[in-house]
Structure 1
Amino acid sequence: MGKPTEEQRPVIENASANNMVIAAPGSGKSFTMIEAVISILKKYPYARIGMVTFTRAATNALAAKLQKRLSKKDLDRVLVDTFHGLVKKQLDMIRWPGKMLIGPAQRSVIHRALKESGVTMKFAEAEFVIDAIGREMDTDVISVRHNRQQIHLFNTYQALCQKDHVADLNALSKFVVGQMHSGKMRTLDLTHLIVDEVQDTDSIQFSWIALHTRAGVYTSIVGDDDQAIYSFRSSGGVKIFQQFEKHFRPNIFYLNTCFRCEPEILEVAGALIGKNVYRYAKELRSAKKGGGKVTFRSYVDMEEQIQGILSLINQDPHGWAILSRNNAHLDELESLIEQPVIRYGGKSFWDEKETSDVLSLMAFFRQSNDPRLMKRVLALFGEQESVLDEVALSMRGRKVTFGDLAIPEDSSLETKHYIQTSCALPRKVLIKLR
């Protein structure tokens, strides 16, 4: 894209104000944001701009585009990061002494919370519930009712985090927002803030945006309420736009021209999303000349759908792509497709629970004096919290490795078997593991 369009130009020219940019898919959103940054830097020599994205991949892509357009001097005045990345920067500024809880370490604490609380729930559901409750902050953005069992599980999880002096990203984000709200922490040193894919923000993140806006930072939120697909992760969707409009009375701009899709695709998409009454009305237009057709196929169940997809692939082996909101469906399809495929998105093999559990076990062989790793490994065996605390206290007090300890009598059979097995490993094997 060369020059800004008639729709994009007002956004760029009015960047030093509070703005709400509702951008259709493929409407040149990234181009418009970058042009706005360039315009701000030219007009205001002391401006400092923050750009917020939702994924690390989006952050890297946006930063790479800015590097091509800005001098080193101007680039130093632009801060590009995810919400969690910016929260971490604020925590570093106050030298927060705790440890961040993410990945396998967080999954281990969830396992322990399930065991300690006595709640009967599958791990995936427990993980979802703890994340959902942890994201709640502003009931005007998102409000979900949770039952007593779910709340008890969350409170147990929080108690374990406090005992271990750790905190997950939701808790840390709430802490930062609370500190800014009370005046104990300053907002980031910015003059302008541009938030991409704002429909995906949750109530904590919206509070973070609002606090910066109230502090005098010119804020432009950019996104599309029709592309809000993360409600399962407590995103606010259209409510984010409504709350921002209500509290800050921003300029409202629409980018309705799609440079990505043929009009045939856009027409069908528009007919579907137009059924939603809780949205900002917009007139979608395609910049393409047109061509091709959209075909709907209906199937009775998932098995019939999978067979239908395989049949379509056989008819056209070289011109297809499969999209799904469920990785499990894609995994099943991939196992049945005979030809090589290119995977895009989804979890890494190393992020899977079973893989990370094995890595934690191997890491503990190497660092058997680490109480945190000890808790993570023994939690896999469903060990009681009282046993974990007793062992951790002994390890810290005597400064010995796990294998040198006398295991408490009330330890589980699985833990005792693990001790016997690990201590019986040949010396050569232990040396290799270390």
Structure 2
Amino acid sequence: VPEVKTKWQNKFELIFVDEYQDTDPIQYRIVKALAESHQNLRVVGDDDQGIYGWRGADIQNILNFEKNYPNAKIISLGQNYRSTQKIVEISHALAEFNPDRRDKELFTRNFEGEKVKYLHCDNDEEEAVTIASFIQRSIDQGNWQPSDFAVLYRTNKQASAFKTALSDLGIQYHIVGNSLNVPAIGISIMTIHKSKGLEFPNVFVTGICQDLLPHY
């Protein structure tokens, strides 16, 4: 209805959208309609962090931003303030395999850090036991506390093996995002989606295999 559209256009003279890479087609149309009058739109996003395609998000919304808004000014923010140089380097190297992304220069002024370690296991149970044993040794040696570790997985189904392995060793853990009102004690285990914005000294990204994580 034109009258309704005009009412809301006049109500919002400036529109700001965060995580624009995760917008879906309907959200795109709503934002475009609201910004049509004042043409005063700000969006923030990273095409390398598009993680909600499974629920309808369209990465083309951010990739085609200049096409959809020809007068847009693009400001590239390539500096990473959280991660070590080693993590930024390997993340950038892996992201370059993605054909649907913008070319960008990523860098950090943080320290070099340790190399990212790759561990091959034959199944979920072996992976969980191996990681739990590594964490136990690190805690016993006094190097880290349980709260210094996070275990990330793609689907909630993968959590079962880790809960069993950690419980067998008597290691406390909590599931981030669990609907139960329990205190956050011990190791944090969660889906990759739940980890966004969180930081831990030691992170295990598990189940890196075909059909679980995106591959190119």
TM-score strictly above 0.5: yes
Instruction: Determine whether 1:320 maps to 2:142.
Output: no
The aligned amino acid for 2:116 is: V
Q: TM-score, normalised by structure 2?
A: 0.71
| 1:103-132 deviation per Cα after TM superposition (whole angstroms, max 9, x unaligned) | xxxxxxxxxxxxxxxxxxxxxxxxxxxxxx
Query: Aligned equivalents of 2:26 and 2:117: distance in 1?
Result: 41
The aligned amino acid for 1:341 is: Y
Q: Which runs of 4+ in 1 moved over 3 A?
A: 182-185
Residue 27 of structure 1 is matched in structure 2 by none
State the secondary structure of the residue aligned to 2:21.
helix
Query: Aligned equivalents of 2:41 and 2:171: distance in 1?
Result: 48
Higher RCO structure, 1 or 2 (CA under 8 Å, sep 6+): 1
Query: Aligned equivalents of 2:112 and 2:74: distance in 1?
Result: 30
* 2:105 paired residue among 270, 274, 283: 283
Shift of 1:324: 1.6
- Going from structure 1 to structure 2, the CA distance change for 1:320 and 1:242 (only over 3 Å counts) comes to closer
Shift of 1:204: 0.7
State the secondary structure of the residue aligned to 1:328.
helix
Q: Tell me if structure 2 keeps the 8 A contact 1:193–1:217.
A: no
Shift of 1:242: 3.0
Aligned pairs (5 A) from 1:197-208: 197-208=19-30
The aligned amino acid for 1:326 is: T
Instruction: Determine whether 1:247 maps to 2:68.
Output: yes
Shift of 1:296: 0.7
Query: Aligned equivalents of 2:77 and 2:94: distance in 1?
Result: 19
Residue 269 of structure 1 is matched in structure 2 by 91
Q: Tell me if structure 1 keeps the 8 A contact 2:129–2:165.
A: no
Q: Which runs of 5+ in 2 are unaligned?
A: 140-144, 182-216
Residue 187 of structure 1 is matched in structure 2 by 8
Q: Tell me if structure 1 keeps the 8 A contact 2:136–2:171.
A: no
State the secondary structure of the residue aligned to 2:63.
helix
Instruction: Determine whether 1:340 maps to 2:161.
Output: no
Residue 159 of structure 2 is matched in structure 1 by 330
Query: Aligned equivalents of 2:19 and 2:76: distance in 1?
Result: 14
Q: Tell me if structure 2 keeps the 8 A contact 1:190–1:217.
A: no
Query: Aligned equivalents of 2:178 and 2:19: distance in 1?
Result: 21
- Going from structure 1 to structure 2, the CA distance change for 1:347 and 1:203 (only over 3 Å counts) comes to farther
Query: Aligned equivalents of 2:113 and 2:66: distance in 1?
Result: 38
Q: Tell me if structure 2 keeps the 8 A contact 1:213–1:219.
A: yes
* 2:48 paired residue among 226, 229, 244: 226
State the secondary structure of the residue aligned to 1:257.
coil
Query: Aligned equivalents of 2:50 and 2:101: distance in 1?
Result: 10
Shift of 1:211: 0.6
- Going from structure 1 to structure 2, the CA distance change for 1:335 and 1:302 (only over 3 Å counts) comes to closer
Aligned pairs (5 A) from 1:260-409: 260-317=82-139, 318=145, 319-337=148-166, 338-344=170-176, 346-349=177-180
- Going from structure 1 to structure 2, the CA distance change for 1:331 and 1:187 (only over 3 Å counts) comes to farther
Aligned length: 168
Shift of 1:215: 1.9
Q: Which runs of 5+ in 1 are unaligned?
A: 1-178, 351-434
| 1:100-159 deviation per Cα after TM superposition (whole angstroms, max 9, x unaligned) | xxxxxxxxxxxxxxxxxxxxxxxxxxxxxxxxxxxxxxxxxxxxxxxxxxxxxxxxxxxx
Structure number with higher helix proportion? 1
Identity of aligned residues (%): 28
Q: CA RMSD in A?
A: 1.9
Q: Tell me if structure 1 keeps the 8 A contact 2:21–2:57.
A: yes
Rg larger for: 1
Shift of 1:331: 4.2
- Larger deviation, residues 208-217 vs 226-235: 208-217
Residue 161 of structure 1 is matched in structure 2 by none
